[in-house]
Every structure is written in C-alpha cells, then in structure tokens.
Structure 1
C-alpha cells in the first residue's frame, strides 16, 4: 500500500514539474505564433506523460499504475486537437510497447482522457478556460480511470479497490486539478502582464522607466520613435545626455536625482522644447520614484505628454472669451444666461441697463422669481396679468421650453424677450429694444386700418360701400340658407335726384345723400343689420333674421325720418326729398337662396314703388297715409 502511494506521489511530482516547465517555456516564447506554442505544449506534456509511466508501479504482471491520463487530458483541454494528438501518441505507443494484461484498459483510459479534454476545449472555444471546467475534467478522468480498473481481473475485488483503485482515482483527480489550476493561473497572469506591457508600449504619451543612475531601463514606442530609434530596446542603458543637449540633460538629471533622494514626485512640469523641425512644442512631465519591497529607491518612472495643442486651444479660448466679452459689452441687445431652475448666471451691462427700476436685483446668483417680484413691486412693466403667480410660472417654463414675448415698460419703451434653452440645462435670454419698430408697427397698423376702412366705407356718406354690401349679403345668404331663418333686403332710391342736382348743385346733392345715409343709420341700429350705399343715389339695407313684415316696418321708418328732415325739392311734385323703397324677403324655412334672386326681387319692388308715384314702399302704401304707431296688417311672404 505504501509503495503504491509513494509511486503515485512521484507521478504527481512529475506532472507538477512538467506543468511548471511549460509555464516557464511559455513565458520565454513570448509573442511567437500560436501553432508553435501549441506543438511545444502538446509535445512537452506527452513527454511528461511518458515520464510518469517510467515511475509507474506494476501491481500485476502487465498492469501498471501512473498519472499519465491527467497530462493528456490537460493538454487536450488547453491546447485543442493538435496538443491532444501530440500528448497522446508518446504514452499510447509506450503503453502498447509495454504490453501486458492492462494494455487495453490503459490505452482506453488515455483515449478517453483526450476526448474529455477536447470536449472541454470546444466548449470554451474562443474563451479562457475556467476553473470549473478543470474540476469537471478532473472528475471525468478520475471516474474513467475507476471504470477502466473494473476491466482488469483481480483489480475489482474489495481489497484491490482499497489498495489500488482509491489512490489512483484520488491522485488522478489531484494531478489533473493541480495541472489545470497552474495553467489557468499562469494564463491569467500572462494575460494581465500582456495588457500592462501593451498599454505601456502603445500609449501615445512618452512613457519610460529609469534606474537609480537615470539610465533608461524601459521605454515605449512613442518615446523611442520621437528620439530617432527604431526599437524601444535600443534606448535601454542610455541617458538624457545621449538624446538631448547637455544643459537640458543636466537639468533633467538633477531633478530626477532630487526626486529619488527625497522621494518626491514631479507633477505636471511644463516646458517648451524646439523639435527637430525647428517648431516650438510644449510638454507636461510627471515622474515618481520607484520603491522596492525592501523600501529602497530603485529608479524612477515618468510620463511626458505633448500639450502643444492644449496650449493652443487654451490660447484660442482666452482670445475667444476676450472677443466675446467685448462683443457682449458693446452689443445693442441685452443678454442673460439663466439656469433652468431660475438662477441668473451671467448678464452683460446692456441687459441690466434695459431694466432701470430693477437694475439692482439683476445680478449673478439672483433667482428669476425674485427679479419678477421686483418688477411687480416697482411697476417697471405695464400690462401685467391679474394672476401674478401664473405669470411667474410662465416665465419659469420659458427657461425650459423657450419663448418670445413683447413687453411694454413704464417709460413707454417696448422690449422683445427671446428665450432659447441650451443643451447644458441653461437658457439664454436676449432682450432687444424695439420701441422704434413698435412705433412703426402701430403706425402701419393704423394706416392699414384706415386703408381697410376706406376700401370698405363710402367716403361721402360714411356708410359701407358696394363691396362690403356684396360680401355681407353673400355671407348672410349662405348662413340663413343653412339655418332656415328669414332674410330681407331693402333697395332704396332717392326720387328725382338728378333733377335735385341740376336745381341745387352737386354740393347740395352730396349733402342730400349724407342726410339719407344718416336717416338709414338711425332706423337700422341692430349690429347684424347693414345699411350701405349701393351706388349713386341708390342705397340698400340687409336685414338678417327679419321677415317681410319687419322689413316693411323698417322701410317705413326710413321714409318717415327723411320726410321729417323736410329737405326742399322744387323739381319734385312732393315738394321735398323723398325715397322709393323696394322690399324682398326669404321666409323662414325657405332654402335655395341666392343674392342675385333677392336683389332682383327687391329691384322689381323698387320699380313698382316708383311706378306707383314714388315716395312709396313696394308701390302699395303711401308713407303719409300710415300712422307709424298703428298695428299693420301682416304682409304675406311672396315666394
């Protein structure tokens, strides 16, 4: 029993030695091609497997026990098919050479170990092998080793199980686990070391390490290339005296020695250096002393950055700020920068001057709500709404959503406030004095209103003109046609007006027309009604929602008011100025209405009034014969 344990522990030592040897070989191989490393890995573990077989113990004639399967399975797991074949062939051939009763079982165990390792390899393809995969492989190899022992006669007995099977299985598990663990750990260490090395070599800054004598021990590619070397290794052993002028080298050497002597770091030291092309460039350098585990200073590490572009950007930024400050000071508009929560962050003098009554509170750090309260207290802004809280909330919302507002100041000035949010949770407020533009706008609006009035109103009578009449009548025709409400129209003509002009002159004729227009205005006083000059001595009245009886009553009222004016008219048999009136109506519920039809019917009624002797309404009733206060018989709507 002791002999078996001693032999297997010797196997375990050989396995560990083989793995250790591979770790060192791999470290020296460095960045060589992966296939080369795979071949060496598989071959080395195959030789190790044979070495374990040389230390195996023969329990029965032709039956040998060792830990060769552990190395074969490990090679397959970490190296793949190539490593599996290279590690499998040497021990397999050697076992077949030894022959004996256990040759078949031993060969099967080797092949099974390789297959289990390959299964794990393909499972982790493209990824690093994890420790739990090693544990599974260890269990698989130990289990299959136990199974293969059952195939050998006399080994499956209880006593043989205790003396042989249990040690073999346990140490097979341990050998595989130890081998896999060291390879995983070594791979992780190598990966981390490669990352650190790559980062050092490929960093765009100048990185370097010097020994206690300020000689370069390691430099990155950037440092080597800048100093004219093809490979970083060419600078190893050199000093600054070999790559720069003597004066600068002395300064660098003195600073580094002082840093190492006093264990002080050199931080962000800026200097300007003229490069090989004669251009001045700026560099920032930081260095720190390197201290060993024993507490001794063993060197210094440094990083130098080219900050020429940063210096230029900083200079451009200062110049831009100076220009911006000048422009903002001299510009005609006021500018203020608010945080979205309402804090005033920046303002120019023009912004403050545009608000003389609240100038004192408009300064950085003040809250917009306090500024608005001051505006309210001083009465600086006119036309503030009654709901001051809603006004203040709207101003705060504008900082987030933007807005445009025109306000009138206490002194008559008009200001335009444009608020524009930015991406930095701030809002820019631009204030412009638009008093002159506002005055021009108001003048233009007044002129526009006057022109519109002139285009819609008859200049002589101050009544709406023919254009307005046509528009209103067309609108009311459409509206009442939809609603089915009544609509009436009066067509009015001044009797013998040409004779009046000939007898009294055109100025008197104009005054006569103005009198007729005034009488119409006095009789037609509902907002919806329209009394208009139709043309020449003709007038018209549109009466929405008015039936024929109502229209007839208004017509009589107009005629009576004109008679009451008692304008003399010697050329008329009436002896005074009179009018003839035609009435036409659409009754309630009547549809398919048109302006042409209504005007035509009113004209026909007007002609009837004139034919009946003038001073008539529809030629049926003489106004003088009707008492206005007496109820009138209903007039039937003519369809």
Structure 2
C-alpha cells in the first residue's frame, strides 16, 4: 500500500494539473458559446475528480479520502449548475463503481459540497456580483466544513490512531487546494476580462473617425488607429509604430502649459505627403506610470482644415461687409440724457416719412414716438396703455446698448442701433434693411421651392421616387398601428418606347402628363398618394383600401384612360393603354414591408403584361380563392 502522504500530494498535483489544463482548454470551448464553456468546465473538473479518486488515502476497506471535493466545489461555484452537474454525475458514478463501506457517505459529501457551491454561484448571480478573490477562501472553508461534517457518517474504527493526523493534513491540503485553485481561476477570469475589454477598447478606437494615438516622450508612435494612418498618409497603423511624429509633420509632444495640467489643447498645421497643409485640433493627455512619472502622451487629433477655411472665408466676408456698411448712407441721430434730439442728418428724417417734420433738433423722443403712434407710422398697439408702454420702453433703451428692427407702414424695414456714451449722450444709427429682409424672404421661398422640387417629378408634377419611398414606409407603419388595409397599384404604359419612336419624345412627355392627370381624376382622396415610379411607370398608394376597392378603382382608371382614346399606332389596341398590377395587405396581416408590397404589385403587373396588356391583375397567391371581381379584367 502506498504512503498516504504520497497519495495526498499526488491529489494536490492532480488538482493543479486539472486547473492548468482548463485554463488552456477554455479558449477552445469559448468558440461554441457560454453553455459549452460551462459544460466543458464541469466535464474537465469531473474527470479531475475521478483522477483524484485513483490516488486515494484508504483508511479501511472501502473507505477512501482524497481531494475530489476541491474540483467539485470549483466546478459548481465557478461554472454554475450546468458545470456542477457535468462534474458531479461522473464523479458519483465512479464512486459507486469502486464501491466500499464509505461510498454512501462519500456521495452525500460530494452532493452537499456541489449544492453549497452552486448556491453560492446563484446567489452572486442573483445580486449581479462577480466572483472576487476573497470568495476563494470562503469557498475553501465551506468545502472543508462540509467534508468534516460528513466524516461522522463514515464507519471508521474509533480505536485507529493514525487517521486523525491524516484527516487533519487532508483538510489543510483541501483548504489550500480550493483556495489556491479558486484564486488561479479568478485570476484567469480577470485576465480574460481585461483582454476582452482591451479588445473592445481597441475596436472602438479603430472605428473612431478621429485620429487617436499614443507616443512616447521622444515623440515615437506606440499605438495608432487607422484614422491616424489616413490622416498622415501612410498605408496602415503598423507603418507608424516606432516612427517619430516629426518625420510626418506632427509636433513633438508638448510639456503641460501649466504645472499640474493633465491635458491641454492646441492647433497645429501639418504638411501632408502631397504637399498640402492640414490643420489639426489636438488634445493631448499626459500618460503617467504607476509612480506618476510621465511616460508618454495620448493624442487626439481632429482635422479642422475645412473649419479653418470657413473661418478665413468668414473673416473675408466680414471685412467686405464692414466696407459695405462704411459706404452706406445711414440715418444718424443723437439724443441727450433727457431724450432731447441734439442732432440728426437728412437721411434720418427721410427714413421716417410720416414724422420727418417732428424729427428735428430740440424735439423730445417722447413727442416723436407719440406722433409715430398717432400717424400709424409703426404698429404699436391700439390701446393708450400699449402706446404708453411702448414709448417708455423705447425711451429707456436710449440708456443701454440696443438694436431692434422696425417695420414701417409702407413695408420698409429699418434696423435701429443705439449706443450710449459715458457722458449720457446716445447715438442712434438707422439703416434701411428692406432689401436684406426681402432677400431673406426670397431665400426662404427658394428653400421651400427646392424642398418641393426635391420631392416632385418635374414633368408630371407628381411625387417622385425618393419621396414615394419615404411616404410608403410611413403608410406601412401607420397601417400596422391601426391594423387597416393598405393597397398599391403599379401601372405601366403599354408599348411606350414604341410610342416615343413613332410620335417623338415631346409627344411622349405629353402622353405621360395625360396619364398622370387621369390618375388625379380617379384617386382624389387626400390620403391617396400618386407617384411617378420611374420612366413610364406610376405607383398609387391607397391607405385603408382593400383589394376589392383597389380593383374597382384600377378598372375605373383604365376605362377613363380608354375614353380619352389617345392614338397609338404601334399598339395592337390603336390607342394608349396601361397594364396595372395590384397588391394589398388585409387587416390582421402583420408581416408588412414596402419592398414586399411593391414587389408583389410588380409581379401582378408582369402578369397583366403577360396576359395581353390593357388589363388589371392582382397578386394571386395572396388569396386561396380569387373573387370574381378580383380576377383579370379586360
């Protein structure tokens, strides 16, 4: 029989080996997901438990002690219920197989330890806590305590004197094995978490559109993201590593502007490889080691070249504007601290035609404003209280920097600027900004027209494809919320290319207009949307309209167009005809999308074309039985 001490040390070696093997195998299991990791962890720990039972300390026939509890506790606590089962089942099965008087107590001990460790795992998960290092000695204590409690059920001869020191040694080794193995697994998990976080940080940095880099105190690049490589005109971030920033036109890492500063910003000009100059807004953050000594800089660069150009352009425009204002003839007036008009030029009087006779030196500002209100030169309210409040407000503004825009009775717009001086005299400059105001209104009108043109087909005046796509998505969402029907009609002018070849493109444009005007006569509801889908195709969106109604409306339109009898020599019908395809969503139908609905209408249109043209066809697979009114109509 082997020495019990040899068996115990062999058990310790097995535990260390199994934990080491798992740290190497875990990466393999992680490829298959977290459940595979738990099951694999439990299986490895279970096999390790069986391995410890191969080198037991035997006190009596059928009574064995080993460190299997260590691996079972680790499996349950670190892996959870799945790992616990994967470890416990093979360990119990093996213990049953080898049998002996101590088998029942051994299985109870294994089960209790696994349950206790699983409970600890679930308790941590329930409270959203992660396994910390101090949990390992706690787990070791609980494992040893349960193991000692179950010894009472083991049939050991009380007269044997050598089992007490062996049991004490086994308990100490079990405590150390659980604690040290737990610390090793905790450390491994911390390393993996740090690695995952680093990978996430690296991916975030690599995906940032701005340049992020780290340089050492000598200015050499240590880390750089792709945006930095693009900014500096190199092939990849790897091409920057180890190169001084000065070679690429980047300023050497600066010292903090003020002692104690940890970050600072500045602007710098960088020469690109193509000879052009870029402006960068640079943020530098000092990177210190654990002792607080600087060991590099984290640099964030943002390309502000366009902003710089805009600033220069803005400065130039401001200079031009200042020159233009200096050449303008503005009205100028000066009032004293009591509001008496001291001076005014002729332009000032001319800008106020209805009160020019009272705007003379010596007049008080209150008298001038009273005349302006009485003669309705300005709209200031109808009640005497409103007029009095307005006069008080304007009089008080003489003592403060103020600027306002005044709208006169004849549509003229004036900008009135007030600048008081320290001696109580206020200068008022009045500028005619009517043209500027009109330009502003014109720009607003132009913007509105551009918005309309962006969503309108120039030839037919209908909604264009771009606006249609947006509106159709809205109608799909609305019909889903309200659980209502939604139908679309896709129509195509038959033999339109032949029409253009026969009558010319101008006639083709007139034909498109006639077809679109007919659409407006049939689909007249405010909710109906008529759009030019492309070329000679049109699409009609009909909210809250079922397939039956859509068919009826489509045939009404086909008959209306037929009544126009637009000649078409290249058509078998001798007139302009259209083929129409219909698709609809019924109430209760939740699987809806614009692509699917238009695709079905396109299939229906193809069926109408294949069936001989000048007809209406629907997406037949939508219905098990197609009503007669929904069948192809000629």
TM-score band w.r.t. shorter chain? 0.3 to 0.5
Max radius of gyration: which structure? Answer: 1
State the TM-score, normalizing by the size of structure 2: 0.41
State the TM-score, normalizing by the size of structure 1: 0.41
